[in-house]
Amino acid sequence: MYIKKEIREFIEKMPKETKLTKDWVNFIKKIDKSYNLLIEHGKEEYECTNCGKYSYGKLLNSKNDRYYDICRFCGKKLEVRRSNLKNYFFLYSFATVDNMNNKLIIRYYEVYRIYNCVSRRFNDSIVEFARYVPELDVVLLNDRCPKGQNIYHYKKIKKWRVFGGKYYANDDYKYIYLRDIDEKKKGTSYQYIPLEDVINHLKDLKHGSLYRVFKLAKYSSFEILIKLGLYNLAFECPEKFNIKGSFENRFGVRKEFYKFMQKNDISYAELEVLRVIQNPNIKNIRTLLRISYSNLDDLKKASKYINLVDFVEYSRKQKNITIQTYLDYIENLEKLEIPLTKKKLLPNDFTLAHDISIKKINTVKNKTLRKKIIERYKKLEKNSYKSDKFIIRPAKNLNDIKDEANQQHNCVYTNYSEKYANGETDIYFLRKIKKPNESLVTVEVMNGRIRQKYQKRNTKTNKEQNNFLKLWERKVLNVA
């Protein structure tokens, strides 16, 4: 494997191994307190390997948890084991951020915490096994990690080598040592990024790994977003904000919305809705995302007909309304050449108005659909798929679609027959293998991805159905 000269020189200059400082040792000792046992010596007599004290009588949590209990002296909840215990160990990893040759480096350590049955205490073996240099985008392993997987604690470090895979790119550590990080990042390309703030926020909200943070930090907008307190945007898509100019030019909304964005740590999907409605109300924004299944294109399309803030209020008074079903209703009105007055756009009973529009559309269906739909079925039949329980297949003919609509009480016949016939969308029916003629889920596919999936009366699919559909999408649609 070819290794760049810059990387080779860095490996040659960096120290093979460094001793643990006193601060690091104290950091590990604090972690170790959670990795201990309560040793049961006899009936209602326990010894804590953390504080070394004996407890007599029933422990504090014995009625609630059979295998774990709380030491009445140090307050730690620990596993209870008998005094004849011979072999036991804990494994955990931690990381430190360091500076080597003016390069920021993440160093990974594993703690192998071994139980000594004579002293009834734990001893630690602490070894460094990997390093990640974000500025060089390289992962380094040593002799303790020969295959990039198992870690051998009793091997000395003879050399460091470049690891071509991404095994440690996900930061397999549970704790991180951040002391003096501001001093360590001086002279590196990350010196102006508030890394401690980023990492602490990262741990709390579980946005991803340190590896990903350093990848994102290469965008100049990442630093700006972090300093603005817009963490979700920073971790989600900083590349979308690498735009010079005013606040409005960068974010697509007026600067007066900044405090609202910061307070709610707005996501990119929420920002896109804010751009459309220009109304800083997080409840309205999240409602629109929910009733549109986060489909921004459909939201923008609906906004041409109605104010989306008004639609939020309207949706709260209606049952089973979504942006998609509303657009279907509007499409019906346009096909029927019915004027889009306010009364028609916001009917008192949406479900009733939707159903009436469907009935009217049924009377003007083009007879040529029948032939086209049969041709579409022949083309899509290859995408049929089944498991032990479910089968999914495309719609066979117009009567097949009509039967699905009648069983499901949905608009697949009125709103999607023509689109399906003309190749604008694909319609599939999910059924149980044992009941192939009984409707279960109606599925719409567009551009090789599932756009809609509903059970009877547009109710959501369950977990088992979703898992089957995900598998079908990956194994069949994505391949096709």
| Residue 431, strand partner residues | 391
Mean pLDDT value of segment 29-54: 92
* In the chain, domain spans: 277-362, 371-477
Q: What is the mean pLDDT of residues 109-135?
A: 93
Q: What is the pLDDT of residue 149?
A: 66
Query: What beta strand segments (E) does 101-185 contain?
Result: 103-116, 121-133, 138-142, 160-163, 175-177
pLDDT tens profile 259-316: 999 999 999 999 999 999 999 999 999 999 999 999 999 999 999 999 999 999 999 9
Q: What percentage of the chain has pLDDT greater than the value 70?
A: 93
Residue 172, pLDDT score: 62
Element (H, E) at 12: helix 5-13
Closest by alpha carbon to 319, among 458, 452, 412?
458
Confidence (pLDDT) at 66: 55
- Give me the pLDDT at residue 13, please: 93
Contact 100, 112 (CB under 8 A): no
- Per-residue CA distances from 412 to 158, 372, 419 (Å): 67, 16, 10
Q: pLDDT tens digits, residue range 176-199?
A: 888 888 888 888 888 888 887 887
- Find the Cα–Cα–Cα–Cα dihedral 79, 83, 86, 87, rounded to 10°: 10
> 158 or 62, which is more confident?
158
Question: DSSP of 138-156, one letter per residue?
Answer: EEEEETT-TTSS---TT--
Q: Note whether 139 and 169 are within 8 A (CB).
A: yes
Query: How far apart, in whole angstroms, are the C-alpha atoms of residue 296 and residue 308?
Result: 12
**Residues 452, 324 contacting (CB under 8 angstroms):** yes
CA 164 – CA 433 distance, rounded (Å): 46
Residues in contact with 275: Cβ distance below 8 Å, sequence separation at least 6, in sequence order? 252, 253
Q: Which residue has the tokens 């019915």?
A: 338
Residue 134: count of CB within 10 angstroms of its CB: 21
Which pLDDT belongs to residue 382? 94
Residue 167: pLDDT over 90: no
Residue burial 462-471, b: 16+ Cβ < 10 Å; e: rest: eeebeebbee
For the residues 137-142, what does the mean pLDDT come to?
Answer: 90
Q: Identify which of 167-176, 230-239, 363-372 has the greatest average pLDDT.
A: 230-239
Question: Comparing 61 with 40, which gets the higher pLDDT?
Answer: 40
Side chain identity at residue 203, one-letter code: K
Give every CB contact of residue 130 below 8 A, 6+ residues apart in sequence. 107, 108, 139, 140, 141, 142, 145, 163, 168
Residue whose entry in the numeric block shows the structure tokens 């009917």? 347
Instruction: Provide the pLDDT confidence category of residue 168 given band limits of 50, 70 and 90.
Output: low
Lookup: tokens for 116: 């000594």
**54-58, 91-95, 99-103: the lowest-pLDDT one:** 54-58
As a whole number of angstroms, the distance between CA 479 and CA 425 comes to: 18
DSSP run (H or E) holding 323: helix 323-335
pLDDT in tens, 11-26: 999 999 888 888 989 9
Cβ atoms of residues 457 and 409 within 8 Å: yes
Name the pairing type of β-strands 89-100 and 175-177.
parallel
Answer yes or no: is pLDDT of 389 > 80.
yes
Among 267, 324, 316, 274, residue whose Cα is nearest residue 297: 324
State the alpha helices, DSSP H only, in 166-320: 181-184, 195-205, 210-216, 220-227, 231-236, 247-251, 258-263, 268-277, 282-291, 296-303, 308-315
Residue given tokens 């049924």 in the structure block: 362
**Burial (Cβ within 10 Å: 0-12, 13-18, ≥19) of residue 263:** exposed
pLDDT for residue 214: 83
User: Starting at the edge strand that comes first in sequence, how are the strands of the sheet with 37-42 ordered?
Assistant: 54-56, 45-48, 37-42, 77-82, 68-70
User: Comparing 97-111, 156-170, 448-462, which segment has the lowest mean pLDDT?
Assistant: 156-170
Q: Residue 91 carries which side chain, given as an amino acid letter?
A: L
Give the Cβ contact number of residue 243 at 10 Å.
11
Number of H helices, E strands in the chain: 20, 16
Is the pLDDT confidence value at 369 over 90?
no
Distance CA 176, CA 173 (A): 7
C-alpha closest to that of 394 among 289, 326, 480, 297: 480
At residue 207 the predicted structure's pLDDT band, cuts being 50, 70 and 90, is: very low
430 pLDDT more than 50: yes
CA distances from 373 to 250, 269, 417, 449 (A): 47, 36, 8, 20
